[in-house]
Structure formats: C-alpha cells, structure tokens
Amino acid sequence: MNGAQIVVEVLKKQGVEYIFGYPGGACMPIFDALVDAPELKMILVRHEQGATHMADGYARATGKTGVVLVTSGPGATNTVTGILTAHMDSVPLVVLTGQTITPNLGKDAFQEADVFGVTMPVVKHSYLVRDVKDLSRIIKEAFHLASSGRPGPVLVDLPKDVVSEEWAEDFNAELDLPGYQVQSSGNSSSITKVAEALAKSKRPLLYVGAGTVISGAAKQVLKLAEILQAPVTTTLLGKGGFSENHKLSVGMLGMHGTAYANKTVVDCDLIMAIGARWDDRITGKVSEFCLNATKIHIDIDPAEFGKIIEPDISVNGDVATVLDELLPQVKKINTKDWLKKIETWKKKHPLKYPKRGGLRAQHVLAELDRLTASAAIISTDVGQHQMWAAQFCKATRERQWLSSGGAGTMGYGFPAAIGAQLGNAKEVVVAIVGDGGFQMTMSELATAAIHKLPIKILIINNRYLGMVRQWQQLFFDNRESGVNMEGNPDFVKIGEAYGIKGFHLRRAGDVTKVLKKALAYNDGPCIIEAEVAKADNVFPMIPAGAAVSEMLIDEPPAGKKLKKPVGST
C-alpha cells in the first residue's frame, strides 16, 4: 500500500467518522485513497478555515477528535485561525496538510508553505513526515496527543512523495513519546488539604471551567456542590459543566458575567478552580482578585499553576479522577447565610434588558432558551450576541455549548454548528451569530445545504460590529470607527440563493411565532434574521483590566466618562 492508504487505514482504525477537507495538488494521493474508504465521510467545505471550525465544533459537541485534511501552501495557512481557536480552548484536532515533495522543501516550490514552522506556537504538537515508514506511528501519535491530557490540535505535514511511496505497513509500531506523560490521579496529600480547606470555608465558590466539560466531570461537580451546598459559577467555556438551572448556580462570571456571580467572587472566602485557568476576562485586575480567599486549583496541566494566580493548594490531575478521590473526604458545611446573601443579590440584580426600543437580541435569545427547554446545542460566534447568548441561553449539560472563548474567533459559530450537527444528528443545533462574524464564514451555507443539516442559523443583525461599538461608546467618547456594517446583504435572500429556508424577524411581538416555525423546520438549514436594536449594550460589564468589584451592573448615565480600559481586550 502507499502512504496515502496507510493514512486512511490509520484514520479508520481510530474510528474517524468525518473528515473536513478541501483538496489540492499536494494532498491528491490522500483524496484518491479516500475513494476506497466510504466509511470515512469527507465533508467538502468551502474554505479551509471552515473545515477547522467544523472539526472543532464536532470535537466539542461529541468529545471525539476532529479531523481536517487540506492541501499545502494557502490551503494549509488557511487553517491557522482554526488551529489557534482549538489550541486556546483545548480542543482535540488532527490537521493533516499536504506538502510539496521532500526534495523541494525549502526551495519555494509551488504552493509550498512551511506550515510546520508557521503553526508551531499554536499547536499542542506537530510533525513533518519525511519517511513513509514513520507514517502510521506518527498519525497514531497525533490522535493520542490531540485527545489525551489537556487536548489540543496536532498538525501532521505530509509531503506528496511520502504519501505516494509504497510500503508494507503492519500497523504495529508503538507510540514513541518518551517526553509525554499524563497525570491522571491527584496527589493524595494535596487532596486531603483541599478537603480540609473546604471544611473550614464559610463562603466557598466552585469555579467551573472547560476542563470539567472535557473531563466529563459534571456529575462529580454536582455531587461536590450539593454536599457542600456551595454556589457554582461557570466560565464561558465551562457552561454545561454545571446546570445553570440548578439552584446553586450563579451563572457565568467575568467581564460579562452575572452581577451575582461576580459579587460572589468578590465576597467568597474560598474559590476552587475546577479545570479553569483564571483567564484575564475572569480575574480582571489580578492584584485585586479574591484577595481574602483561599485559592484551590485543580488542573490537568501543571503549567497553569501560578501562571496568573498563585494557588494556595494545587492538584495536578484529571478533574473527574481528582474529584472522585476528593469526594469521600468532603463533609457538609454550613453555607446557609452565604446562600441567603447570594439569593438577595440574585433578586436585586437579575439579568435584564430594556423591554422597549424595538426588537432586542436578549429577548430573542431568552425565548429561544425557553422554547428549546435549555436543551439545544448552541454554537455562537464572537461579540455582543455571544455574551447575550451566554447570559440568556442556559446550559444544562456537557458539550451543549460551543463558543470560541480564548481566541475569540469571529466566523467560528456557523461552521462549528455544522460539525456539531454532523456529530449529533438527533439534537437541535442552533448557530447564534452576529451579522459581522457570519459574513466571515457564510460560504459554508453550501456545506450545510448539501448535507441538509437542520441547523437553525439565528443571525442577530444590528448592522454594527456591536461589541467594538459598545467600547467606542463607553471608552472612546462614542467616536465610532470602523464598526458600521453598512452594505450588509439581505441574509434571507442569501439563504434563498442556496435553497435555504429563511425567516425575517423584525418585531418583538413575532419572536415566539417565528422561532417556533424555525424550530419546527427540519428539512435542512434555516436562517432566522433577527433585525435587532442597533445600539444596544451588554451589561453587566467589568472594563478590561479593572477589578471585579468595579463591575458596571447597568448602563452608566449618558455622558458619564469612563476610564479607558488598561486590560488588553
């Protein structure tokens, strides 16, 4: 068999269902080998960035590794944004890139790009295969690395001559990774210290991140929270790690988190990060973050300890395993007063939005949440609609919420929904996107239409790059610059051109009716273009770099000048 057939054979052995790809000269032998492997379904995308986001959405929604296959040069460099997105959010991807023949490497051959070098800072690991004899082992290693430990993207660059060469492969080669160990169970004395700290706490807070979802530890977190009677906050990517409909949930924390979550953060005497990494949109000003709280950090990646916050107790290991080890030592503590206090914050500062002034994105999203009983898989893009979705669409289970958190990649939401729907044929999948981000990857409408995927594409159209406009209004004296999306198309008509069903939504009174119709439509994708209030803002808000206690719960009075944020974004 030749190298390409070896690649395909290993993909089959790994149980791959879908390959998201786009062909080109350098990867033609692999596309040729795929003809004889119908069990590997090749999803032909319209742009390689779309392929990476689809593989990412598939991976986040199923827990399996997403696979991308593209050609060399521009095909490969078009995947970089998607690889960064997956890297920042610890998503398992294997990205196979075609490459020019080995004798041409480094000679500026046609469609040659040093993608091994280009992607090095944004991959978990990468390979340039120079010998067909190494091929099967390397692809196996790529899957192992992508999916184990802290997951991440692994790139394998495949020169055309290597995949064209004949080799009698027996597929028996062992993984050769002497520098790679994964710590699964935690250090028992650290775990005992955690139990002791929890027992002493009067105002604990469980801070649940993506690691909980990746590890599949929602069950353990629920147990821990219920034994302790401790409030739980989830990060943007931790949504689904603990049901937001549970009475102990305080929802999302951080820059656009709920007021009561952030007040809980400020007031707690113990904060326990469970697979979370103290992102700068959560801590705000680090020097003022949780000054009087004991900080516990559980993470599979020891490089996260002390990166932002120096923990008082850290436990290195898989979240579910560590919690299983911890739970027998945990005793109920008295948090009645603490929960009462949080309850008053919840009553005083609920999430809310103006009921007047035309159609509101928040209204649409809250109604979507109600009509789907918080059960749909939600994939978002990046911007105001993302934060409103995070606030108003409740996540109740793992792998239900897909969003580009670390990288904040516009254009992610729609292709990720395609991957999620392919991986979960029976689930309702809703892509919540803005008019800006959607236009970055809407060429994938063809991909969704061809496969008749019943994705509901909800476009929150305010004809603005709303989040940037919000910052310009609040911090730059309302000097609008480069945010007007004048020239937006009629998105329903765009859909029509692909044979996709569309709904206009313009009036607040039509929200329920239109959403119901869209949710009932399952013959293929549909577009709901919600033409919402132009200049709405997301609140609460902690200005970037400010302390959590400086949160703006509501819109500041008009004309009030705010300090320019010192945090980067």
Partner 1 sequence: MEEKFAISIYVCNKPGVLVRLTQTFARRGYNIDSLVVSAAHDTAFSRITVVVMGEPSTYDQILRQLNKLVDVVHATSHESTDVVDREMALFKVKVDPKKRAEIFQIVEVFRAKTVDITDQSLVIETTGDSSKIDALEKLLGPMGLVEMVRSGKLIMKRGVEET
> Which CB, 308 or 485, lies closer to partner 1?
308
Q: Known catalytic residue: 110?
A: yes
Could you tell me which residues are beta bridge partners of residue 123? none
Q: Which of 9, 48, 141, 169 is catalytic?
A: 48
If the CB atoms of residues 145 and 265 are measured against partner 1, the closer one turns out to be: 145
* Helix, strand, coil percentages in the chain from 3-state DSSP, rounded to 5: 40, 15, 45
Does residue 99 interact with partner 1 by CB under 8 A? Answer: no
Q: Identify the residue among 42, 61, 128, 430 touching partner 1 (CB under 8 A).
A: 128
Q: Shortest distance, CB of residue 125 to partner 1, whole angstroms? A: 4
d(CA 59, CA 41): 15
Decide: 298 and 272 in contact? Cβ < 8 Å.
Answer: yes
Sole binder of partner 1 in the list 15, 103, 110, 120 (CB under 8 A): 120
307 near partner 1 (CB under 8 A): yes
Q: Could you tell me the smallest distance in angstroms from the CB atom of residue 179 to partner 1? A: 4
Smallest distance, Å, CB 135 to partner 1?
Answer: 15
374 Cβ neighbours under 8 A, 6+ residues apart: 244, 245, 393, 394, 395, 396
**Residue list 538-557, contact with partner 1 (CB under 8 A):** none
Catalytic annotation present for 467: yes
Which x/- pattern over 135-164 shows residues binding partner 1 (rule: CB under 8 A)?
Answer: ----------x-------------------
Indicate the DSSP class of residue 25: G
Residue with Cβ nearer partner 1 (118 or 375): 118
Query: To the nearest whole angstrom, how small is the minimum distance from the Cβ of residue 394 to partner 1?
Result: 34
Minimum distance, C-beta of residue 81 to partner 1, in the bound complex (Å)? 19
Q: Does 121 bind partner 1 (CB under 8 A)?
A: yes
- Whose tokens are 């669409």? That residue is 393
Nearest to residue 401, comparing CAs of 372, 434, 362?
Answer: 372
Record the tokens describing residue 106, joined without a space.
């480094």
Choose between 41 and 130: whose C-beta lies nearer to partner 1.
130
Applying CB under 8 A, the span of 90-98, 173-181, 394-402, 490-498 interacting with partner 1 comes to 173-181
Structure-token match 């950090």, residue found: 297
Q: Note whether 178 binds partner 1 by CB under 8 A.
A: yes
Q: Which of 60, 124, 160, 346 binds partner 1 (CB under 8 A)?
A: 124
Of residues 105 and 371, the one with the C-beta less far from partner 1: 105
Of residues 32, 165, 301, 510, which one binds partner 1 by CB under 8 A? 301
Q: Considering beta carbons, is residue 105 or 552 the nearer one to partner 1?
A: 105
CB of 150 to partner 1, least distance (A): 9
What are the C-alpha distances in Å from 453 to residues 445, 446, 510? 10, 11, 25
Identify which of residues 134 and 269 has a Cβ nearer to partner 1 in the complex: 134
Catalytic residue among 124, 140, 160, 501: 160
* Contact (CB, 8 A) for 92 and 59: yes
Q: What letter does residue 240 receive in the DSSP assignment?
A: T
**63, 164, 180, 553: which one contacts partner 1 (CB under 8 A)?**
180
Name which of residues 29 to 58 contact partner 1 (CB under 8 A): none
Q: According to the binding rule CB under 8 A, does residue 287 interact with partner 1?
A: no
Q: Which residue has the tokens 């490459």?
A: 99
Closest alpha carbon to 302 in 316, 320, 312: 316
Q: Shortest Cβ distance from residue 176 to partner 1 (Å)?
A: 8
From 22, 31, 116, 338, residue interacting with partner 1 (rule: CB under 8 A)? 116
If one asks whether residue 175 binds partner 1 (CB under 8 A), the answer comes out as no
Beta strands in 350-446 (DSSP E): 377-380, 401-402, 429-434
* Catalytic residue from among 467, 491, 529, 531: 467
- Which residues lie across from 274 on neighbouring strands? 208, 298
User: Cα–Cα distances in Å, from 387 out to 31, 258, 556?
Assistant: 40, 11, 19
Among 72, 126, 190, 234, binds partner 1 (CB under 8 A): 126
Q: Give the strands of the sheet with 456-461, arranged side by side.
A: 401-402, 377-380, 429-434, 456-461, 526-531, 501-505
CA-wise closest residue to 198 among 155, 219, 168, 229:
229
User: One-letter amino acid identity for 404?
Assistant: S
The residue among 240 and 406 lying less far from partner 1, judged by its C-beta, is 406
Q: Considering 111, 183, 229, 472, which one is annotated as catalytic? A: 111
DSSP 270-296: EEEEES----HHHHSSGGGTTTTSEEE
Active-site residue flag, 160: yes
Q: How far apart are CA 200 and CA 310, in angstroms?
A: 20
Of 175, 177, 182, 373, the one binding partner 1 by CB under 8 A: 177
Q: What does the alpha-carbon distance between residue 304 and residue 314 come to, in Å, rounded to a whole number?
A: 10
Of the candidates 12, 13, 39, 110, the residue annotated as catalytic is 110
Tell whether residue 125 is a contact of partner 1 (CB under 8 A): yes
Near partner 1 by CB under 8 A, which window of 178-186, 320-328, 410-418, 442-450? 178-186
Place of tokens 């999620």: 420
Which is nearer to partner 1, 178 or 557 (by Cβ)? Answer: 178
384 CB burial (10 A radius; 0-12, 13-18, 19+): buried
- Would you count residue 182 as binding partner 1 (CB under 8 A)? no
Query: How many angstroms separate the CA atoms of 260 and 341, rounded?
Result: 10
Q: Is 302 in the site for partner 1 (CB under 8 A)?
A: yes
DSSP 537: -
Choose the binding region for partner 1 from 35-43, 174-182, 259-267, 412-420 (rule: CB under 8 A).
174-182
Please say whether the beta carbons of 152 and 90 come within 8 A. Answer: yes
Binding site for partner 1 (CB under 8 A): 116-117, 120-121, 124-126, 128, 145, 177-180, 301-303, 305-307
Active site residues: 48, 110-111, 160, 467
